[in-house]
Amino acid sequence: MRFLLTTALFATALALPVLAALSRPTAAAPAAAPTTAPASGLAFPFPVKEKTLANGLRVYVVGYDSPGLVAYYSVVRTGSRNEVEPGKSGFAHFFEHMMFHGTEKYPADAYNAVIKEMGADSNAFTSDDLTVYHILAGKAALPKIVEIESDRFQHLRYLEPDFQKEARAVLGEYNKNASNPLEKMIEVLYDHAFTTHTYKHTTMGFIKDIENMPNEMAYSRQFFDRYYRPDNIVILVVGDADPETVFKLVEANCGAWKAGDKHPAIPVEPPQKKEQRAELGWPGATLPMLVEGYHTPAFSTTNVDLPTLDVLAELLFAERAPLYKKLVITEQKVESLSGSNDAHVDPNLFTVLARIKKPADTAYVEHAIHDEMAKVAKEGVDDKTLSQVLSHVKYNFAGQLSTADKTAYTASSFLALTGDLSSINSYFALYDKVTSADVKRVAAAYFQPTNRTVVTLKAGK
């Protein structure tokens, strides 16, 4: 998933955890007694209670053994994917900034003082499909957390000077990110891989739109009014929290919040018909790099192709994979090699990244990757290796559930994709259906030259 203004590629490069690793750099007395025992063998084994208010606001409470501690996540199911109007990209990320400017009741300084007094940790992140605001605090702070969060979601207040300041800050953030060659490669990759869908621009947005953002004060209010509505938000509380207490607090603070109107339709990306290529020169010193993207399906809890693509990422690019051993260890032509399927609400990309030691080896490395993909598509994988890979993927996912905050983060990713927390277990049940025949079929179907976008980078141009 493209969290924190990057793609899954960049997340992989930074060793961040979705699905084959749920992404993000980045978590109560014992969890409230569950009314039913956690079912064994589930990927998400914690007791879950949910309630949907009359205005559409969905609330989940997850029991987690974190005595005295709760993670409170507000998941806005809006990201850069929803920036459909031409010239208006970047506003999902912009509101990640603006939401900390305060309200009439709790101006920014007062909000920050409350957070500090609670000894809490408060932050936010944005991606293609979601914007998340999260607080980690003691259980006793939960009533105040619900109060201040519901207040800023319903009564955010900012004036022209605030807007101008944050618009300039977003441009500064873009320029900072643009100094990283990998960030620019990701931007070029998605710009070339997509022609119609809003995934064409990164979470930051197109530079021309960011430069014009200071002139879009009126549109910013329209964007907020459209998407920051209860029927587009999920509240998730993980840790030492009593579900009925949480439901009453949310109802009292959010029950009068009015639902929003229907959202604009997202344009559908047509099938890619031929390979797309781009070369990016870099004025400073950098290792040559290769980034590839292959169009893959939208996230689904019924399509076995999705977990199969997770398996292929492990088979082809994990450290124990033959290709990794060949290019990184034996031949030492590549400094790092990674690949992952980028789960999204709409069809997105399976991405590959190689950091290459010498410019002269770029073509060789690219051909080696393609040859290995073709080999797997032809030969598949033996049952023993497949079983080991499936176990490894499941083990990695379990590692993302080691704290209340990490569990809430992981759950928020699925809530962005489906709005339904049960989708975690539904998705992971698909892994048990993956066969060697699926591996061959899926590799052959998606790793086609006509479905591929390639971006290369080298210094000195």
In this structure, are 249 and 353 located in the same domain? no
In this structure, are 27 and 163 located in the same domain? yes
Q: Cβ distance 253 to 147 under 8 Å?
A: yes
In this structure, are 238 and 285 located in the same domain? no
In this structure, are 281 and 223 located in the same domain? no
Domain count, the chain: 2
* Residue at 230: amino acid letter: P
In this structure, are 304 and 210 located in the same domain? no
Q: Cβ distance 260 to 225 under 8 Å?
A: yes
In this structure, are 421 and 292 located in the same domain? yes
Taking only Cα atoms into account, the Rg of the chain, rounded to an integer number of angstroms, comes to 22
pTM: 0.90
What count of other Cβ atoms lies within 10 Å of the Cβ of residue 142? 23
* Residue at 22: amino acid letter: L
What count of other Cβ atoms lies within 10 Å of the Cβ of residue 337? 26
In this structure, are 355 and 424 located in the same domain? yes
Domain end, chosen from 208, 224, 254, is at 254
Provide the residue-wise pLDDT of the chain in tens; the chain has 461 residues: 232 333 333 333 322 233 332 232 222 322 333 333 334 478 999 999 999 999 999 999 999 999 999 999 999 999 999 999 999 999 999 999 999 999 999 999 999 999 999 999 999 999 999 999 999 999 999 999 999 999 999 999 999 999 999 999 999 999 999 999 999 999 999 999 999 999 999 999 999 999 999 999 999 999 999 999 999 999 999 999 999 999 999 999 999 999 999 999 999 999 999 999 999 999 888 999 999 999 999 999 999 999 999 999 999 999 999 999 999 999 999 999 999 998 899 999 999 999 999 999 999 999 999 999 999 999 999 999 999 999 988 888 888 999 999 999 999 999 999 999 999 999 999 999 999 999 999 999 999 999 999 999 988 75
Long-range contacts at 421-427 (CB < 8 A, ≥ 24 apart) = 421/44, 421/48, 421/50, 421/60, 421/62, 421/236, 422/48, 423/301, 424/43, 424/44, 425/42, 425/43, 425/44, 426/301, 426/302, 427/19, 427/43, 427/299, 427/301, 427/306, 427/307
Distance between CA 8 and CA 418 in Å, rounded?
19
**Is 267 among the domain residues?**
no
In this structure, are 243 and 297 located in the same domain? no
Two tokens, residue 162: 């605030």
In this structure, are 131 and 19 located in the same domain? yes
**Is 392 among the domain residues?**
yes
Q: Cβ distance 377 to 447 under 8 Å?
A: yes
Two tokens, residue 289: 């790099």
Which range marks the domain in which residue 81 is found?
Answer: 8-254
**Is 454 among the domain residues?**
yes
**Is 121 among the domain residues?**
yes
In this structure, are 246 and 293 located in the same domain? no
In this structure, are 280 and 421 located in the same domain? yes
CATH number at residue 142: 3.30.830.10
Instruction: Return the H-helix or E-strand segment holding 458.
Output: strand 452-459
**Is 262 among the domain residues?**
no
**Helix (H) and strand (E) counts in the chain:** 16, 11
Two tokens, residue 11: 């997340």
**Is 348 among the domain residues?**
yes
Q: Cβ distance 293 to 453 under 8 Å?
A: yes
**Is 340 among the domain residues?**
yes
In this structure, are 137 and 78 located in the same domain? yes
**Is 211 among the domain residues?**
yes
